């Protein structure tokens, strides 16, 4: 009597166990999204949308090639890419019910907003499920700028490193043999390279140091001083940290050494568009320029005869041991809260950010810095004499970026506006002015606090 | 004692009311959808923290306190708007009236003159603004080279805080074709016999304008001023484009642009509304700024309308 029941029970257990095993097997094969919040099956046919900021033809073509590569291994997922998307369009899309699945931003400024608002979903469960250890995959600097207060809502999708471009012909004509390494050398070199017209106006600038001089923004240039921006109490500390004051004092001296603000600004107003063949460095209007690594691709395409070199931007004289550092930022990528196909979206994000061949191919095409250890070790860009210094800047432990904030880049805009006033001579007391900037940034942060 | 309304009459009244409402419905729907609801929603959002992603969270007067106490751009934007209302609007109206008077007096080539004066108004604002920024570029612009040839020195135009608003005024005057058209229509409507009678009485040109032309066109002048003030309150495109092009920071992905270049001299309230709403995603503060803008526009318009009787004279 008991045996049949026992047998039935064992049979039932065996059936249940095999069913469970089959379910688990199926789940692991299909990459079930358990624990990630995603409710779609990445093994099923799906169409996802990808919003990105690239707009130039060769960049859009490179994205399309990446998608084609992805489709070779994921034929069930169709990716529709939308180019030239800025962050404001991104947020408007994320909040809609039919917004994008995969989202990317050219700036790390808004990561704090994306993470804290939940607009971009937490990627930690996806990484864990895929067995990816972020610390073993991505360099620390990129991990820092893709999270906010411990929440990882983005991954690095190629990085930007900022350094010095210099015109070798102009250097040779001025008898300068090597790029400057300290800020005092930088000022002397720039002054030596500067050329004037007979009427006293600038003919060629040694460097365009005013803060509207394209990439010569306060954030990019001040990175050489290694500022902290935020104190241990979480409040803005531009006035208490001595480095912003040192930076701005030096900057004023540099502007004065190159003819003064008015003369420089008048010269700058005649510059062509930054992202065109009329870029002032490419056409010889400036002898040196602070710029990102992507400029190497533009020069190769638009000014192939230009003889130029690249190097890290100089550091303050009292921080000579930090030479090699630079400002870092990069494109960040994530999954939108609005996505109904988050598991499929993750497959695409994982491919773009961790597939070594994909990362290297895209980095080589658009001349950006690859963002995984594996890709950095094998990138063909290391053989490019112009690009290699940017890889070194990226690897420098002293390189830094601007911290993520709950209200995006608003604190940078506030500081930037103050810097415009400072360089134009409208700020009588630098220390008091910086204290005012701190108060404003703290008030803005409190307004955004949730 | 009130006599009961017969059912037939009641039905007739109901039909008449329904017909009236039906005729009014396009306006009523438009008013509700495009004015009443947005206004109500803006008032509500001004008391909330709303980042466009998460549901609004009630914060009471926090946004109002922030805008009036801690927000650094409100004063600057209000001052710029006041300048544009006080200078740009009258200059534009006077210029439009002047061009209109020339157009009606021309005996030959009047149509060509009117066409040439009207054409700039048809230019897309973005293209026109970019064109002006290049024309008035202090380093490479032909206008500054012309001034330099005359020995009149450098003018920074869109790159100089002192000259940026006058440069925008020049741009606005260039596109005065819309006002010219309505002034021409008003001027040709003034009865010729009144001019003839005034002339017979020995009235000079100024007296004919003061006592014949002006009373006849005053309603049109008022219309031009009121619409000009409202348009100036909403001034956005030209100021934003001029700032971006002149600063060289186009606001491409990855760039942060501060509106109002140079030194906040072209900052206007609508730019702040956009920046707070869609760049910082602070819908609460953006709503407060919108309501301030709405309040000012309503007050100025009401004041102008109250002055209407005085402007129109005893008639």
The domain spans of chain B are 7-64, 72-312
Position A31 in a domain: no
Query: Are A306 and A233 found together in one domain?
Result: yes
Position A332 in a domain: yes
What domain count does chain A have? Answer: 2
Position A184 in a domain: yes
Binary contact (B254, A119; C-beta < 8 A):
no
Query: Are A240 and A285 found together in one domain?
Result: yes
pTM above 0.90, yes or no: no
CATH number of domain containing A76: 3.40.190.10
* Alpha carbons B258 and B242: distance in angstroms, whole number: 12
Boundary residue ending a domain (A390, A412, A438): A390
Specify the pLDDT at position A42: 76
For residues A250 and A316, is the Cβ–Cβ distance under 8 A? Answer: yes
Looking at chain B, the whole-number percentage of residues with pLDDT higher than 70 is: 94
pLDDT at A2 over 90: no
Binary contact (B72, A91; C-beta < 8 A):
no
> pLDDT category, B151, cuts 50, 70, 90?
confident
Give how far B49 is from chain A: nearest CA, Å: 8
Specify the pLDDT at position A338: 85
3-state secondary structure of B129: helix
Specify the pLDDT at position B225: 92
pLDDT at A432 over 60: yes
Token pair for B96: 């439009």
DSSP B253: T
For testing the chain A interface, which of B71, B256, B289 should be mutated: the one with the most A CBs within 10 Å? B256
Q: What is the mean pLDDT of residues A310-314?
A: 98
Q: What is the mean pLDDT of residues B145-156?
A: 79
Query: Are A321 and A347 found together in one domain?
Result: no
Binary contact (A117, B279; C-beta < 8 A):
no
Written in H, E and C, the secondary structure of A361-417 is HHHHHHCCECCCHHHHHHCHHHHCCCCHHHHHHHHCCCCECCCCCCCCCHHHHHHHH
pLDDT at A31 over 80: no
Query: Are A336 and A272 found together in one domain?
Result: no
Q: What is the mean pLDDT of residues A382-398?
A: 96
3-state secondary structure of B236: coil
> pLDDT category, A58, cuts 50, 70, 90?
confident
Q: Quick: pLDDT tens for B26-60.
A: 999 999 999 999 999 999 999 999 988 889 999 99
Q: Is the dihedral of CA A389, A394, A398, A400 positive or negative?
A: positive
Query: Are A195 and A96 found together in one domain?
Result: no
> pLDDT category, A15, cuts 50, 70, 90?
very low
Specify the pLDDT at position A7: 40
Binary contact (A113, B248; C-beta < 8 A):
no
For residues A156 and A146, is the Cβ–Cβ distance under 8 A? Answer: yes
Q: Quick: pLDDT tens for B240-275.
A: 999 989 988 765 545 667 789 998 999 999 999 999
Specify the pLDDT at position A175: 97
* Alpha carbons A203 and B294: distance in angstroms, whole number: 49
Written in H, E and C, the secondary structure of chain A is CHHHHHHHHHHHHHHHHHHHHHHHHHHHHHCCCCCCCCCCCCCCCEEEEEECCCCCHHHHHHHHHHHHHHHHHCCCEEEEEECCCCHHHHHHHHHCCCCCCEEEECCCCCHHHHHHHCCECCCHHHHHHCCCCHHHHCCHHHHHCCEECCEECCEEEEEEEEEEEEEHHHHHHCCCCCCCCEHHHHHHHHHHHCEECCCCCEEEEEECCCCCCCCCCHHHHHHHHCCCCECCCCCECCCCCHHHHHHHHHHHHHHHHCCCHHHHHHHHCCCCCCCCCCCCCCCCCEEEEEEECCHHHHHHHHCCCCCEEEECCCECHHHHHHCCCCEEEEEEEEEECCCCCHHHHHHHHHHHHHCHHHHHHHHHHHCCECCCHHHHHHCHHHHCCCCHHHHHHHHCCCCECCCCCCCCCHHHHHHHHHHHHHHCCCCCCHHHHHHHHHHHHHHHHHHHCC
Specify the pLDDT at position A55: 86
Minimum mean pLDDT range among A396-405, B46-55, B61-70, B301-310: B301-310
Query: Are A150 and A246 found together in one domain?
Result: no
* Alpha carbons A30 and A24: distance in angstroms, whole number: 10
Binary contact (A212, B279; C-beta < 8 A):
no
Domain enclosing residue A315, as ranges = 162-326+402-448
Comparing CB atoms, the residue among A417, A424, A448 nearest residue B282 is A448
pLDDT at A24 over 60: no
**Angle formed by the axes of helices B177-188 and B110-122, nearest 10°:** 140
Binary contact (B52, A105; C-beta < 8 A):
no
Q: What is the mean pLDDT of residues B158-184?
A: 95
| Sequence-distant contacts of A422-431: CB under 8 A, at least 24 apart | A422/A248, A422/A251, A422/A252, A423/A210, A423/A211, A423/A251, A423/A252, A423/A255, A423/A261, A424/A261, A424/B263, A425/A261, A426/B263, A430/A245, A430/A248, A430/A249, A431/A239, A431/A245
- Residue A84's nearest CA partner among A52, A108, A109 is A52
Specify the pLDDT at position B6: 85
A443 contacts on B by Cβ (under 8 Å): 66, 70
Give how far B66 is from chain A: nearest CA, Å: 7
Minimum mean pLDDT range among A184-188, A228-232, B258-262: B258-262
ipTM for the predicted complex comes to 0.82
Q: Quick: pLDDT tens for B191-204.
A: 999 999 999 999 99
Give how far B158 is from chain A: nearest CA, Å: 10
Query: Are A281 and A419 found together in one domain?
Result: yes
Query: Are A378 and A427 found together in one domain?
Result: no
Give how far A194 is from chain B: nearest CA, Å: 17
Query: Are A368 and A240 found together in one domain?
Result: no
B247 contacts on A by Cβ (under 8 Å): 212
Query: Are A311 and A356 found together in one domain?
Result: no
Specify the pLDDT at position B1: 52
pLDDT at B285 over 70: yes
B154 contacts on A by Cβ (under 8 Å): 266
CATH architecture designation of domain B72-312: Orthogonal Bundle (1.10)
Query: Are A198 and A293 found together in one domain?
Result: yes
If you search the block for the tokens 């309304």, which residue do you land on? Answer: B5
Query: Are A321 and A338 found together in one domain?
Result: no
Question: Which H or E element spans position B57?
Answer: strand B57-58
Specify the pLDDT at position A200: 93
Specify the pLDDT at position A339: 92
pLDDT at A8 over 50: no
Specify the pLDDT at position B204: 93
Q: Quick: pLDDT tens for A86-117.
A: 888 888 888 777 889 999 998 888 899 899 98
Q: What is the mean pLDDT of residues A338-360?
A: 95
For testing the chain A interface, which of B153, B254, B257 should be mutated: the one with the most A CBs within 10 Å? B254
């Amino acid at each position: 009597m008991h045996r049949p029941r026992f047998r039935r029970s064992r049979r039932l257990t065996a059936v249940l166990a095999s069913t469970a095993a089959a379910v688990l097997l199926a789940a692991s094969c299909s990459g079930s999204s358990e624990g990630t919040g995603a409710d779609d099956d990445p093994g099923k046919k799906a169409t996802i949308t990808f919003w990105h900021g690239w707009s130039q033809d060769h960049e859009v073509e490179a994205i399309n090639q990446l998608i084609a590569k992805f489709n070779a291994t994921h034929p069930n997922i169709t990716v529709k890419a939308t180019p030239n998307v800025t962050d404001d369009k991104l947020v408007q899309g994320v909040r809609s019910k039919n917004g994008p699945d995969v989202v990317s931003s050219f700036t790390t400024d808004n990561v704090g907003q994306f993470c804290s608002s939940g607009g971009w979903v937490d990627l930690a469960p996806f990484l864990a499920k895929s067995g990816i250890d972020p610390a073993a995959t991505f360099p620390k600097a990129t991990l820092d700028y893709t999270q906010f207060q411990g929440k990882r809502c983005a991954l690095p999708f190629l990085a930007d490193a900022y350094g010095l471009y210099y015109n070798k012909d102009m250097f040779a004509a001025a008898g300068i043999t090597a790029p400057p390494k300290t800020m005092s050398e930088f000022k002397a070199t720039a002054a030596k390279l500067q050329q004037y017209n007979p009427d006293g106006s600038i003919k060629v600038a040694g460097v365009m140091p005013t803060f509207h001089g394209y990439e010569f923004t306060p954030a990019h240039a001040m990175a050489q001083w290694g500022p902290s921006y935020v104190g241990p109490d979480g409040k803005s500390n531009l006035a208490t940290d001595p480095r912003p004051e040192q930076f701005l004092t030096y900057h004023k001296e540099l502007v004065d050494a190159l003819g003064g603000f008015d003369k420089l600004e008048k010269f700058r107003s005649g510059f062509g568009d930054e992202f065109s063949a009329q870029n002032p460095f490419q056409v010889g209007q400036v002898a040196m320029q602070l710029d990102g690594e992507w400029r190497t691709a533009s020069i190769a395409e638009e000014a192939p005869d230009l003889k130029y070199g690249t190097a890290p931007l100089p550091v303050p004289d009292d921080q000579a041991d930090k030479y090699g550092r630079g400002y870092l930022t990069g494109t960040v990528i994530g999954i939108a809260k609005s996505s109904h196909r988050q598991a499929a979206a993750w497959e695409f994000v994982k491919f773009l950010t961790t597939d070594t061949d994909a990362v290297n191919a895209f980095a080589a095409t658009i001349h950006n810095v690859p963002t995984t250890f594996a890709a950095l070790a094998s990138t063909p860009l290391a053989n490019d004499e112009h690009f290699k210094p940017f890889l070194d800047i990226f690897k420098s432990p002293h390189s830094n970026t601007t911290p993520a904030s709950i209200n995006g880049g608003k604190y940078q805009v506030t500081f930037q506006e103050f810097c415009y006033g400072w360089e134009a001579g409208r700020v009588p007391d630098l220390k008091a002015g910086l204290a005012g900037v701190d108060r404003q940034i703290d008030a803005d942060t409190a307004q955004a606090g949730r | 004692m009130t006599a009961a309304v017969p059912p037939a009459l009641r039905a007739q009244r109901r039909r008449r009311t329904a017909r009236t409402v039906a005729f009014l419905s396009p306006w009523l729907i438009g008013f509700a959808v495009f004015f009443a609801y947005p206004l109500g929603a803006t008032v509500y959002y001004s008391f909330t923290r709303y980042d466009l992603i998460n549901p609004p969270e009630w914060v009471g007067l926090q946004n109002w306190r922030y805008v009036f106490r801690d927000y650094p751009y409100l004063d600057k934007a209000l001052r710029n708007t006041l300048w544009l209302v006080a200078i740009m609007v009258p200059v534009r109206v006077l210029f439009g009236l002047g061009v209109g008077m020339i157009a009606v007096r021309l005996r030959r080539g009047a149509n060509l003159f009117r066409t040439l004066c009207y054409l700039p108004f048809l230019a897309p604002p973005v293209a026109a603004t970019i064109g002006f920024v290049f024309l008035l570029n202090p380093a490479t612009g032909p206008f500054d080279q012309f001034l330099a040839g005359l020995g009149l020195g450098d003018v920074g135009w869109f790159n100089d805080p002192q000259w940026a608003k006058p440069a925008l005024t020049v741009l606005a005057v260039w596109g005065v074709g819309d006002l010219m058209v309505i002034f021409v229509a008003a001027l040709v409507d003034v009865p010729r016999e009144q001019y003839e009678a005034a002339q017979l009485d020995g009235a000079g040109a100024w007296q004919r304008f003061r006592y014949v032309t002006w009373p006849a066109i005053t309603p049109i002048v008022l219309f031009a001023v009121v619409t000009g003030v409202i348009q100036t309150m909403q001034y956005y495109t030209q100021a934003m484009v001029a700032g971006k092009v002149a600063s060289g920071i186009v606001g491409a992905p990855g760039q942060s642009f501060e509106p109002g270049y140079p030194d906040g001299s072209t900052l206007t309230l609508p730019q702040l509304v956009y920046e707070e709403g869609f760049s910082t995603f602070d819908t609460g503060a953006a709503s407060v700024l919108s309501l301030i803008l709405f309040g000012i526009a309503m007050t100025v318009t009401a004041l102008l309308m109250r002055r209407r009787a005085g402007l129109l004279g005893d008639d």
